[in-house]
Amino acid sequence: MAYLTPAEVADSTVATVEKKASLSISAMLILGALAGAFVAFAAEASTMATQDIPLFGPAKYVASIIFGAALMMVMIAGAELFTGNTLIIVGVLAGRVSTGRMVRNWFWVYLGNFIGALMVVALVAGAGLFKVNNGVFAAATVKAAYAKVGFSFTEALLRGILCNWLVTLAVWMAYAAKDIAGKILAIFFPISLFVISGFEHSIANMYYIPAGIVAKAQPAVAALTHLTPDQLASLNVANFLLKNLLPVTLGNIIGGAFFVGTLYWFVYLRKADAARVAGRQSASLGR
């Protein structure tokens, strides 16, 4: 068989997340930084490819083709992505990972993701890419970032839930594949759905919004974006953290940990875990 059944994926996921929860802090930071950089590469390339496509639908479609490369690199090359690691909840529910270990992993991987994404922002700026196409790339970067800080808290939260429901499904499906081609196909379609739909990914936004904050300093940006000075001023660190990153991160946790991790645990693992616990209790009483 070239793939695992859903029940087998559930079992395999428990073993996988148990290993993730046992990583050292240095490993989580390094692998987290790599994943943040991989996502930032995909975000930058998506913007570069769509910067002067005038129609909304075709632009989204092109971006969706490119963006899946981020999760492919994470899953195949090896890296730690916070949004995918919300599936560690499966190990917690199965009694194989403590809540503390899960939170520890989320914290250090999230920090590593942030470092990696900001590193790519700095490199993109230093490489002069915001000057590409007479500032059109910079303007596209700013407009994307401005739209992201314009959501209400509820909108950003719900878009975060929808996004990571699909991202963790892509991870779950990639776990089912036993070869690289299968993993690539499993990842491509769910990621395309989230990008085309305009859902919100916290780690991608660690590139998109800081890149927009940096790019808005380019001389021609204001004219090319048609944004007012007040609108450009609203693209700032406080709005990035409070109006986007916070609600989107919470939404990503709900989307991955509940809609994928918890529901699949309930269907495929709950009874087996309950029987295992009962067996241990019985053995303990027998002594």
Q: Considering the domain boundaries, does residue 283 fall inside one?
A: no
Mean per-residue pLDDT pooled into runs of 10, the chain (287 residues): 88 97 98 98 97 92 97 98 98 97 98 98 97 95 98 98 98 96 97 97 98 94 93 97 98 98 96 60 53
100: its two tokens: 């503390």
Q: Considering the domain boundaries, does residue 72 fall inside one?
A: yes
pLDDT tens digits along 172-231: 999 999 999 999 999 999 999 999 999 999 999 999 999 999 999 988 898 999 999 999
Q: Considering the domain boundaries, does residue 65 fall inside one?
A: yes
- 154 C-beta neighbours (distance < 10 Å), count: 10
44: its two tokens: 């930058």
Q: Considering the domain boundaries, does residue 277 fall inside one?
A: no
Q: How many domains does the chain have?
A: 1
Q: Considering the domain boundaries, does residue 172 fall inside one?
A: yes
Q: Considering the domain boundaries, does residue 286 fall inside one?
A: no
| Distance from the first to the final alpha carbon of the chain | 43
Q: Considering the domain boundaries, does residue 237 fall inside one?
A: yes
Task: Supply the CATH number for residue 63's domain.
Answer: 1.20.1080.10
pTM for this model (two decimals): 0.94
Q: What is the pLDDT of residue 219?
A: 87
Q: Considering the domain boundaries, does residue 287 fall inside one?
A: no
Residue 28's domain comprises: 6-270
Query: What is the spatial distance between Cα 285 and Cα 221, in angstroms, rounded to a whole number?
Result: 72
Query: What is the spatial distance between Cα 143 and Cα 125, in angstroms, rounded to a whole number?
Result: 17
